[in-house]
A and B are shown apart, each in its own frame.
Chain A
Amino acid sequence: MGSTNYKFIGRDIPRRDAEIKTKGLLEFSSDIYVPGMLYGRIVYSPYPFADIEEIDTRDAESMGATVITPKDVPRKLFNIRLVSVEEVTFKDWNVLTMSPRYLGDPVAAVAAPSEYLAQKAAEAIKFKFKKIYRPVLDAFEAMSLDAPAIRERILKGEQEVTVSKNVGAELNFSEGDIDRAEKESDVVLERSFKTNRRYHFQLETKASLCVPEVDGRLSVYTTTQTIHNTRILIGQVFGIPLSRISVKRIPIGGSFGSSIQTNLVTLISVALCLKSGKPVKIVLTREEDMYDHADYEMHLKLRIGAKRTGELTFGEMHNIMDIGAHQVQAYPLLGTALGWFVSLYKWKNILYEGKAVYTTKTPSCAFRGYGAPQVSWAVESLMDELAEELKMDPLVLKLKNYVGLGDVFWGQGPTVRSIIRSDGVKELVERGKQLIGWDKRQPPSAKKGRFRNGIGFGRSFHTSGAGGPISGEVIDYSGATLKLNEDGSLDYITALQDHGGGTLEAHAKIIAEELGVPPHLINIVPADTSITVYDVNTHASRGTYVGGEAARRAAQMVKSKVFEAATRMLPKAVNPEAFKIRYDEALEQAVVYIEGMKDMKVTLAEIAKASWQRNWGTIAATVSYRATSAPPTFTVFFVEVEVDTYTGTVKPKRVVAGADLGTPINPKLAEGQLHGGFVMGWSMAYLEDTPYQRETGELMNRGMAVDYKIPTFEDAPSIEDFKVIFANTYEPTGPFGAKGLGEAALNPVAGAVANAIYNAIGVRFYTLPITPEKILESLSGGE
């Protein structure tokens, strides 16, 4: 079911926005300047964990700055992320706080006509502290009896709940009978894993500009993955009707999950704008941004059992998540982490305990993969260990037990279940195995000398969206408006944000395919919340699968209206169903026709013109679409590394990345997702972490980019050594058979890299990142 019959889908069409991006003409939030604009700066507490008695703003105000403190903003708690339904949304946020709980907790903010003045004013704000506590930087320490309470009362929906032992949320689950299963197992393995607290390092730091319009409405230009949820939150927090707020869809300089929520910088710019009556822009510095968000640090204890035959008997996971000082999506992630675990392999009997624990660190938020890179690393490492124990090829063990075609899948957590209808895992493993030369792989004991190569395999998946047949706890739907212009071109209007992967251009191709209109005649309209129907968020790899299907359905509706108009123009046709539409190569436009009849043919442009000239009205459609499943995009990585046993450094030598994404809309861009996914996953396995200073609660790197290494050009494998393969699958529920890819492209990487390192040197690591220091240390102990 390849894409050979498609006119536009599956063909590489260079991106239309590439040139303006290359020239630097495309404007991101921080690039927008308006006359009379004030520059805002945020003021943070010098202590990560304290209660403030008093804030002295007099000096700042005497410099002419607008100043806001907690008393200028509403007191009611909220959550900055609105994706879950209200009843399970945990709320512990304020715009500004008198009780800072991490070093990046905003306590005040200023705005002034120049950045220089704003900075001076920010520095002039003084605090008197009621109490200063020792920072709490470890989840287990935070749960101990003598740890101070980081938060006492928070809201769950509208209900007040008391936090005990700093556990912000809990989720437990069991299915089957673990005790019996354990008795029936021939092998039981138990290991504890700890993941790194990575920083997203999206190239654009978070920014926001809030503009008061002359009629009192607010226009907001900000870094976000969701313009609608941003508008709703601004409305809720400040008590402004949504019809008075317009949030613009502005290109975003990378996000990787860091702007699923509405950023505090956005709310602060609104608060400053409301107080000053002037436009206020705030651009976070890199240091501020690094204190603003990080990944979830997971402490995963896994126990798994199997029979000699390789049949799994049970799987148990204990997940202690260090969530930092606030809840963004801690509770839903507890469910999703479980979802990743149970949807990787058929454990049959399952036990899960999850706890989200507050610490006085930067709040954790989603990071590309949403817990799946962490869980997959642990599971893929452990499955390799199990294979060794059973003397089996890990590929055989994994293929025997993986959750695939026809199985129930609930990657996005217990409330979002659907059946798997497309699965290319076997094909990818078969082909990948050949390309990497798996069968020639030697055990670690066969490696000698300074440089040792190892080959590792890891697999995983990600959902496409968070939809399902029943409503569940997650809000997940998209919308699209499509209108046929008077010359036959189209305007496509959506709230869906493109992170840069080319999602909106993929939508244009989907519309093009449905209507036979060349993609360049489809305008992707710069949009805002006022002119678009709701779209929840570009997260969960849902942009193509859900948003693209919304666009396709809008195109389908337009098509049936076009056929009605065609019936008016060619009245010999019995009814609109007699017509078809296709792209005519010779005319270079869409034509509506009846098969086998030469004279029954009219171009889309002629129909559009007739509808206008004869007062039939504009042909347009708006849809709101919820998917009834969230199909997994399966991915596999084969990685060959070279370990230098003298320095401990590791290099990726060869990579085979395989993806089962259904129909690739843009193969080259899909490849690019896998390149980017690999490099990010490599970095997770080997480079990144944000450790804290025990005494001060500061980041060790103080938020400086110099001390937060991410891969450069020199860290990636060469072009020739990076192979990408796509499975030949078709997802029946996706637009033209497509599934999402953004996150699946990353999820298996750390597992594959860890397994490759093991294959090179025979050492397993249970803490990420696997740094050269750790490697050296392990080798010096062993030899």
Chain B
Amino acid sequence: MKDLFVEIWESVRRNKMRTILSGFAVSWGIFMLIVLLGAGNGLMNSFLQGGSGFATNSVSVGGGWTSKPYDGLKAGRRIRLDDGDVAVTGGDLFAENVDQVSATVGTNATVNYGKKSINGYIDGVYPAAQEMEKRVLLAGRFINDKDIADSRKVVVIPESTAWSLLENGQDAKTLVGKHIKVGDLAFQVVGITKADRMRNSRDLYAPYTTVKTVYGMGQEVGSISFTTKGLDTEKANEEFEKQYKSVINLRHRAAPDDDRAIWVWNRAHQDVEMKQGRNILSTALWIIGLFTLLGGIVGVSNIMLITVKERTHEFGIRKAIGASPWEITKLIISESVTITAVFGYIGMFLGMVSCMILDKTVGQAKMSIMDDEIAMLVNPGVGLDVAIEATLVLIIAGTLAGFFPARKAARVRPIEALRAE
């Protein structure tokens, strides 16, 4: 082993400039690969963080219109969810796959605070909504079970709604404990949640039971949300949705296989799509990176070809004194792999440093979308897995680069090699 490295070192030393130039192309290829993948990861992390408004195992259900006649009723009938549906969802039938259940019912209402007045939308929710919709509390608390039980007149306000009720520059948190007027009734503000993307500035959250009784909603339910458990595969999710739809549909005398009678929005699918998107992006980046690297491989291969040509006579001597073709092949390929690996690691190291620099600079820049700030890049960089994969790529690349020159060197008959000068 040591002998081999001594041989490689001697050869490299005699061709310093040439080795460095071709090695640089390899460094550049790996550098690009690492930076591209790192930035791509940062971008995907940023998307994932931004898109995580809901827990990925949460499902929302709403009423729709029937699309086929059933049980003597015509198609095109409006389906309204009701308390019975909520009970069934949280009941024994789906106990295996349904975890927490929340329902909403909402209505428009004029909201007043001080001199400000907005056209708000009051959403009756269960405590479970906080976790399902990933509401982050900035101050106070969320709707709790006691609020539900007592139908208390309390509200939780997203920051963005609070701003529209306050004078410019006032801190949203100061609203906690204050009373605001919703329609004709006074509600106490018990919590402020973080404003999040895509949410308008007129939502308020009140206990489900309060909204129901105050606004005389009867049995009607706006939408049902629940978290699922034990649905690990796409197939399991689809199976569950199909069964769920048929049960709810039948409660409303709609065909069990009617896809439009109620709508079911399962974030699990979104999650899968997100993962697929991530895979597509990283595959694309790998391909770009590999093509960049290809230039380096061709460069090293060329250098090795020239080296082999120059050393033909030397190989002739070696063969005359007993070097087998494999010994010659080994010499060339290990030289090629060594050059590729050393320069590849330099590129990999620089690429990782650049990812860190990206994190400190571009990564800190924020994009502002709908009052919500998200970082451009979140944790750019590559993991150990990519480093290992890249190492494998380098070894394969080096072998490939050395393969044809090595074969050429090994094949020359000793007598011809000795004649060469």
| Same complex origin of A and B | no
